[in-house]
Homo-oligomer: A and B are copies of this chain.
């Protein structure tokens, strides 16, 4: 979003002093991001991002910030919230909650190939393993209960065949979530929104190395398979058609399984969770599109993209090859 909260470099310096991060040498607002106000802050110590939270409250933020700190401490390349002398990582700027994290290097890879998918898949599994002993817990707030409440609100805006698709997919996912198979899926903290623009790579073209995952503000405890499915639906599809690129998808899953082998149930439910992941973003984009929040300055994403993705997942159920089939 554009900058909602105007912060002066002097105010930033006060916070950087508290965090013992040195003298501000560069300070500028960032227009990317849809939920928060972000500033790049450079000091002689390094490059940081100052985030002023516009949607999340002081009560909600510890889960996200401490998860990032936990993962960073386990060597997962994620923004590391900077602590003051008392160890506090959630700060206050102009009365609003704020955090300072190290700035990830590199840029987005918006046309990923097998090489990028391999790296993201492996790091996703490492992140899941590293998060298993994270002591806080919060449900995925954009999960089944939210879909169930939101679908009836957006249905009146849809054409009959869209409404039918959305309703029947929701019913399928409700059944799935109540099943014993679903209860068996391994769970833990997941990113839940790990799209191409939430991952950084650095290095020369053809030799880029993954340099970080960021934007954890939709994270929650849910099935690891859902996180994988969100990634497959973004990293491993043709964006124009929504069609799965099976080579990239297979590379992504194989790399994931190098770090954390999937159970038989996870392999079996992969098509169903890819449908769930498409539904989740179709619902939220319909919501953003038809019921924009007053304060939003952003043009909402086109909801029909995830409608296409869902139709593709329904038309072509895809299972990764299990290790014994490769």
Q: Which A residues fall within an 8 A CB radius of B?
A: 57-60, 135-141, 143-146, 148-149, 151-152, 155, 167, 171, 174-175, 177-178, 183, 187, 221
Contacts and interface: CB of A to CB of B under 8 A. Distances in A.
A178 B137 contact: yes
A65 to B, nearest CB: 15
Number of copies of this protein chain within its complex: 2
Contacts of A143: 145
The 10 lowest CB-CB distance pairs between A and B, nearest first, are A57-B152, A137-B178, A137-B174, A59-B152, A145-B145, A139-B145, A178-B221, A137-B175, A139-B144, A138-B174
Contacts of A135: 175
Contact of A152 (B60, B144, B174): B60
B187 A151 contact: no
Contacts of A57: 152, 155
A305 B120 CA distance: 50
Given A138-B174, A178-B221, 8 more contacts: A59-B151, A137-B171, A137-B175, A138-B148, A139-B144, A141-B149, A174-B221, A177-B221
Given A57-B152, A145-B145, A178-B187, A171 B140 contact: no
A275 to B, nearest CB: 15
A60 B178 CA distance: 17
A148 B152 contact: no
Nearest to A183: B183
A177 to B, nearest CB: 7
Contact of A136 (B141, B145, B174): B174
Contacts of A140: 145
Given A59-B167, A155-B59, A178-B187, A141 B137 contact: no
Contacts of A183: 183
Contacts of A187: 178
Contacts of A151: 59
A73 B174 CA distance: 23
22 contacts: A57-B152, A59-B167, A60-B148, A60-B152, A135-B175, A136-B174, A136-B175, A137-B171, A137-B174, A137-B178, A138-B148, A138-B174, A139-B148, A139-B177, A140-B145, A141-B145, A141-B148, A141-B149, A174-B221, A177-B221, A178-B187, A183-B183
A139 B59 contact: no
